[in-house]
Amino acid sequence: MRILLVGVGGVGEAIATFSKRQPWCEQMILADYRLARAEEIQQKLGNSNRFPVEKVDANRQEQIEALARKYNVDLIMNACDPVFDVPIFDAAFAVGCNYMDMAMSLSEPDPNDPYHKTGIKLGDYQFSKAKDWENKGILAVVGMGVEPGMADVFARYAQDYLFDEIEEIGIRDGANLEVRGYDFAPNFSIWTTIEECLNAPVIWEKDKGWFTTAPFSEPETFEFPDGIGPVECVNVEHEEVLLIPRWVKCKRVTFKYGLGDQFIKVLKTLQMLGLDKKEPIKVKDVMVAPRDVVAACLPDPAYLGDKMSGKTSAGTWVKGTKNGKPHQVYLYQVADNETCMREFGVQAVVAQAGVFPVITMDLLANGVWQGKGVLGPEAFPPKPFMEKMAAYGFPYGIKEM
């Protein structure tokens, strides 16, 4: 398989690192607007022919198309912030190759009632193009990271193998990670974090469909495994809620994230000051997006690994019935930062996000997963994916509750 990797930040580096070990990866083009960053990753990988570097503006569809044609790629892997989803997604369609991302096209709030009604939902643009992709005979796998991605595969597995009837599926994410030397240092893209945490969270219910609520609503304490322990989680906008009901039969879907009081206070302050805005404003004679300024002021998550400690748990809580009896489980994957740094050279959060697209590439390259159109992770048989997780160094667990 020949892959154009658009974006070589922390997660992009993890994708390339995991792909290097796989014989099905014939060539992976490292494309980023920061050519020096792409060259840095190429040097780490140690093979310039297998991992050539290119400079690209991910907002310029024609540049992405040109690179895809130059290298005759089979798949465009989008490892950029989701604001770039549309041009990268459309470039893959124009070229006629397969596509994968880890976060779907962005939402827009309902202009009159944003905390009750959905406006444009996550992924609406991409799913509106599904028939075109299907007719062209190509595949877009959307929302295929860890959350969304692995967590969605778990939801499909729960339906197929663990439950007779599902009442609720709740994605629950929590950690005890710490970053030494910083009062505030997000371990993932602050651009994406602001987007998903300050937007109105989406909930799905069988009788109501998709609707929204206020940010950070419905706090609950969730007991995470492997020594992480209890973490307070709150509603956050996330793709799983838009994906799971399309393929998995259940009555309710939610996503809750363990942010912590300090993190929530910082996000609320950014919103209060208008620093969460992604639309450029004029500062003296320069047009700049406030959110980009925030990102520039914070440390790059790709370089925090040696300062981090602790574990992170991503997973899917499922409640329902089996053999006529109430049943609850948490299907999860816990990544330890020390282990990820030692074995893979990347920090735990980006390692989790990066390994599961690579497992998906493996399944596609070997014909185990097949499809046409625009599909989420739930559309594929879950067992082949889950059977590969341990071999890639990220085994799953199932906790009875």
Domains of the chain, CATH where assigned: 2-101 (3.40.50.720), 150-346+390-400 (3.30.360.10)
Q: Which two tokens stand for residue 236?
A: 């956050």
194/172 Cα distance (integer angstroms): 18
Q: What is the pLDDT along the chain (401 residues), one digit of tens a residue?
A: 999 999 999 999 999 999 999 999 999 999 999 999 999 999 999 999 999 999 999 999 999 999 999 999 999 999 999 999 999 999 999 999 999 999 999 999 999 999 999 999 999 999 999 999 999 999 999 999 999 999 999 999 999 999 999 999 999 999 999 989 888 888 778 888 888 889 999 999 999 999 999 999 999 999 999 999 999 999 999 999 999 999 999 999 999 999 888 888 998 999 999 999 989 999 889 999 999 999 889 888 878 889 999 999 999 999 999 999 999 999 999 999 999 999 999 999 999 999 999 999 999 999 999 999 999 999 999 999 999 999 999 999 999 99
Residue 346: C-alpha distances to residues 15, 229, 349 (Å): 10, 24, 9
**What SS3 string covers 47-81?**
CCCCCCEEECCCCCHHHHHHHHHHCCCCEEEECCC
User: What 3-state class would DSSP assign to 130?
Assistant: helix
pTM of the model: 0.94
Name the residue among 223, 228, 99 with its Cα closest to residue 172: 223
239/124 Cα distance (integer angstroms): 11
Q: Which two tokens stand for residue 373?
A: 């159109």
In single-letter form, the type of residue at position 132 comes to D
